[in-house]
Amino acid sequence: MSTQDIFANWRASAPYLQSILRMIAALMFIMTGTMKLFAYPMGMPPDNSTAVYFTQVWFGGVLETFGGTLFLLGLFTRPVAFILAGEMAVAYWQFHSPVSPWPIMNNGVSAVLYCFLFLWFSAAGAGPWSLDAVRKPIPK
């Protein structure tokens, strides 16, 4: 097998890796929501509490838990990803950036990465292993 064949096979696996990336990111994202809403697998720092109902943090937890679940399933991926990208942009600019302009110093790295990951998925779609692909086949 030539190097060219190996790269061609690797390129052919990109849509499936896209689906895997979506699922892994969703699982990590859902945990941030369940932490806020249900104190699972732990509560919010510093006291393991849950978010107070109808506060901005609570609404963030709802988006993270239920939007993350839709994202995990690959259902309505593009609009859900766009909304979640917006949530992460708000989270960064409202909560992280006032501390410092540098994400590594203000603990905003994950918010920035999620924001751009969700923005990319809003354009690219869920990939072949998704309910969106079952609902409406992706044109080639």
The per-residue pLDDT for range 38-68, each reduced to its tens digit, is 999 999 999 999 999 999 999 999 999 999 9
pTM (predicted TM-score): 0.91
Angle, to 10 degrees, between the axis of helix 3-12 and the axis of helix 14-38?
A: 40
Query: Per-domain residue ranges for the chain?
Result: 3-135
The closest of 116, 133, 136, 122 to 15, measured between CA atoms, is: 133
In tens, the pLDDT along 7-18 reads 888 889 999 999
